[in-house]
Amino acid sequence: MIRLTNVEKTYNGHITALSGINLQVEKGEFVFLVGPSGAGKSTLIKLLYREEVPTKGQVYVLGEDLGRMRRSQIPFFRRRIGVVFQDFKLLEDRTVYENVAFALRVTNCPAREIQKRVMNALHIVNLRDRRDAYPQELSGGEQQRVAIARALVRKPEILLADEPTGNLDPSTSMEIFQLLERANLYGTTVVVATHARAFVDAMKKRVVELREGRIVRDVRRGSYSE
Amino acid sequence: MFHAFAEAWKGLRRNGLSSFLSLLTTFIALSLVGATFLVEANLKYMFKTVEQGMDVQAFLKKGISPAEVDGILAAVKKIPGVRDVTYVSPEDGLKELREMFQDMASVLDGLEANNPLPPKIEVKTTGVEQIVSVASALREIAGVEDVIYQKEAQKKLEAIGRVLQMAGLAGVISMGAVSVLVIGNSIRLTIFARRHEVAIMKLVGATDGFITAPFFCEGLLLGFFGALAASGMLIGVYYWLSRWLAATLPYLPVLPLDSDLTADILTILVITGLAVGGFGSALSLRKYLT
């Protein structure tokens, strides 16, 4: 599903974000990426949805060699994965419903199908009643749930999350992690970069720890730190 | 496609002031394009009025029979570029001379008996550029002895015509380029104002075409509305100006504002507007995509 071999990523030729990364994630896995700020977690996530390309090594996601993917193929690749961010990245001038529907509109999905799937996704994140609200009218937790609904509405094979609870209080964070876990139960492969120690420890998932751009720990049913 | 235009319309309304300013600049640039076209068209019209007065004269052999003259006239009418032809007999020629030299009429006395003038035909062409070809065709006709025309004047007029055309073309091209830049810049501002939205679109897997279509249509709309406004303004101004000129300078030939001219202005400006809008936004989008 995801395979990185000898991946190195440098910026401007000398700032090394990642080096010597070898990582394999199987279908249906749930993986936490942990480590201090600047360890390379975000860069690793960016490599996975082809926002960045590796300087050296190969990144295979869903059978695609992302380093060699043509520009015109990127949108079609991204439609197969969902991405969730710390800052939600919602369209401010569109309603909750439209934000979620947007992910389907770009794919030429028929209108009837869109409504059914959007309402279903909003049901999963428990936001059906707020479908006509605008992002500014929502709490942070609600906005992140919209973002998750947008990511899930296309039934992605992989769900990536970069600090999804970075701006949220613990009880709201709990809801978000529950949603990610639920998506994982339905078969979606989930990779989450996070600082939320308590949840990593409680959920007992695979933990990959990065430090200064290298993988220093990779354990099944692990905790935030050794 | 409908979606793209709907989004473009929303985009224009969302950035009301900036859209209005680009529309205004497009309007000004297109007005200049249209004005250049009108000035050029009028110069051409005046030019045509002048050159229609020019003609080619062909002298026929002496003692030619009326039947032969008829044959020659028929042959001349078939030459491409000939607008009109008249026969001037030696007697008519003499009358012309007498009119020209009224004071010295006595000099011409006695010529009636032994008229030295050859019979001739006067040929008017459809345009100055036809004179040379008409003249050489005339030389080929049996019974024609010599052909004369004002080579120098014709050459000068042709040269002026070429300069006018170049100047008009240069004007239209430079104004068109200005509009392209203005619209391009406006689209770039719109893209910049909506860069977060664009980033999100890319993130959820929108293709470049899907993302850029609304911006492209925005450029088309700007060009189109700018062209409509400019056409309306120009037609109005031209209407009053041509009436005023006709009243104050009646001898000046001014192209009349008929439905043909109105259609020309509209067609030229709308096509230029769309082209300029499309090209301008495509330019900005290309930059953004790479």
Q: Looking at this predicted complex, what is its ipTM?
A: 0.86
Q: Return the pLDDT at B267.
A: 92
Instruction: Measure A152 CA to nearest chain B CA, in Å.
Output: 11
- In angstroms, the CA B172 to CA B33 distance is 5
Give the pLDDT confidence score for residue B158 in this predicted structure: 72
What residue in B sits closest to A156 (Cα-Cα)? B204
User: Does residue A124 lie within any of the structural domains?
Assistant: yes
Sheet (strand B55-60) strand order: B82-88, B120-125, B55-60, B144-148
Copy the structure tokens of residue A136.
Answer: 């500014």
- Tell me the count of A-B CB pairs closer than 8 A: 41
- Which residue range is the domain that position A111 belongs to? 91-155
A38 or B171: which leads in pLDDT? A38
Q: Do residue A147 and residue A126 come from a single domain? A: yes
Four-way CATH pick for B55-149: 3.30.470.10, 3.30.70.3040, 3.20.19.10, 3.90.1150.10: 3.30.70.3040
A53 and A163 both lie in a single domain: yes
Q: Is the pLDDT of residue B15 over 90?
A: no
Closest by Cβ to B207, choosing from A75, A102, A103: A75
Average pLDDT over residues B94-108: 72
| A79: chain B residues, CB-CB within 8 Å | 204-205
A86 within a domain of the structure (yes/no): no
Domain limits, chain B: 2-50+156-289, 55-149
Q: What is the mean pLDDT of chain B?
A: 82
Q: 3-class DSSP state for residue B257? A: coil
Q: State residue A134's pLDDT score.
A: 96
Residue A116 has pLDDT above 70, yes or no: yes
Q: Which of A132, A155, A178 is the last residue of a domain?
A: A155
pLDDT at B107: 67
CATH of the domain at A5: 3.40.50.300
Looking at the structure, do residues A146 and A162 belong to the same domain, yes or no?
no
User: Is residue B206 within 8 angstroms of chain A, CB to CB?
Assistant: yes
Q: Based on the fold, state whether residues A167 and A68 are members of the same structural domain.
A: yes
Are A179 and A198 contained in the same domain?
yes
Q: Which phi and psi (to 5°) does residue A198 adopt?
A: -60, -40
Q: Are B226 and B26 in contact (CB under 8 A)?
A: yes
The region of weakest confidence among B6-10, B73-77, B217-221 is: B6-10
Same domain, A150 and A217: no
Q: In whole angstroms, give the CA distance from residue B274 to residue B216.
A: 11
Distances (CA, A) of B79 to B75, B177, B286: 7, 43, 53
Distance from CA of B204 to the nearest CA of A (A): 6
Q: Would the pLDDT of B115 be above 90?
A: no
Q: Is residue A72 part of a domain?
A: yes
C-alpha A26/C-alpha A3 separation (Å) is: 9
Query: Which residues 6+ apart lie within 8 Å of B84 measured at CB?
Result: B123, B124
Is the pLDDT at A34 greater than 80? The verdict is yes
What does the alpha-carbon distance between residue B185 and residue B201 come to, in Å, rounded to a whole number?
22
Most confident of A12-21, B109-118, B130-139, B146-155: A12-21
CB contact B6 to A (< 8 Å): no
Average pLDDT over residues B92-107: 73
Q: Which residue has the higher pLDDT, B123 or A122?
A: A122
Strand ranges of the sheet holding A158-162, from the earlier edge strand across to the other edge: A81-85, A158-162, A189-193, A30-34, A206-211, A214-219
Nearest-CA neighbor of B150 among B167, B133, B128, B177? B128
Q: Is B174 buried (19+), middle (13-18) or exposed (0-12) by CB count in 10 A?
A: middle
A16/A28 same-domain check? yes
Whether chain A has a CB inside 8 Å of the CB on B201: the answer is yes
Q: What is the pLDDT of residue B51?
A: 63
| pTM, rounded to two decimals | 0.69
Encoded amino acid at B176, one letter = G
Cβ(B269)–Cβ(B230) under 8 Å? yes
Q: Is residue A211 over pLDDT 80?
A: yes
Question: Are residue A35 and residue A133 in the same domain, yes or no?
Answer: no
Which positions ≥6 away from B174 have C-beta within 8 Å? none
| Confidence tier at B102 by pLDDT (50, 70, 90) | low
**Where does a domain end: A102, A136, A155?**
A155
Nearest to residue B92, comparing CAs of B72, B118, B68?
A: B118
The answer to whether A136 contacts chain B (CB < 8 Å) is no
pLDDT, one tens digit per residue, over A184-209 is 999 999 999 999 999 999 999 999 99
User: Could you tell me the CA-to-CA distances from B236 to A79, A138, B211, B232 in Å, in that order?
Assistant: 53, 53, 39, 6
The two three-digit tokens of residue B258, written as one number: 């008929």
Whether residue A226 sits in one domain with residue A166: yes
DSSP-derived pairing of the beta strands B120-125 and B82-88: antiparallel
Q: For tokens 């890319």, what's the residue?
A: B202
* Residue B1 in this model has a pLDDT that exceeds 70: no
DSSP state of A71: G
Q: Which residues of B touch A76 (CB under 8 A)?
A: 205, 207
Other residues' Cβ atoms within 10 Å of the Cβ of residue A111: 9
Least confident of A51-55, B7-11, B77-81, B180-184: B7-11
Together in a domain, A62 and A164 = yes
The least confident of A69-83, A126-140, B212-226 is B212-226
Q: Does B9 score more than 70 pLDDT?
A: yes
Q: Which of B194, B204, B288 to mutate to test the interface with A (most CBs of A within 10 A)?
A: B204
**Average pLDDT rounded to a whole number, residues A168-194:** 94
- What pLDDT does residue B214 have? 87
B190, B215 contact by CB (below 8 A): yes
A76 touches chain B (CB under 8 A): yes
pLDDT of residue B245: 84
On whether both A63 and A166 belong to a single domain, the answer is yes
Domain boundary among A111, A127, A155: A155
Counted domains in chain A: 2
Same domain? For A147 and A106 the reply is yes
Alpha carbon of B76 to those of A177, B52, B54, B70, B139: distances in Å?
96, 17, 17, 10, 10
As a whole number of Å, the end-to-end CA separation of chain A is 27
Q: Is B197 on the interface with A (CB under 8 A)?
A: yes
Residue A95 lies in a domain: yes
Q: Do A77 and B197 touch (CB under 8 A)?
A: no
Task: Please check whether residue A129 lies inside any domain of the structure.
Answer: yes
> B201 contacts in A (CB within 8 Å)?
102, 106
Interchain CB distance below 8 Å, A106 and B208:
no
Q: At B279, is the secondary structure helix, strand, or coil?
A: helix
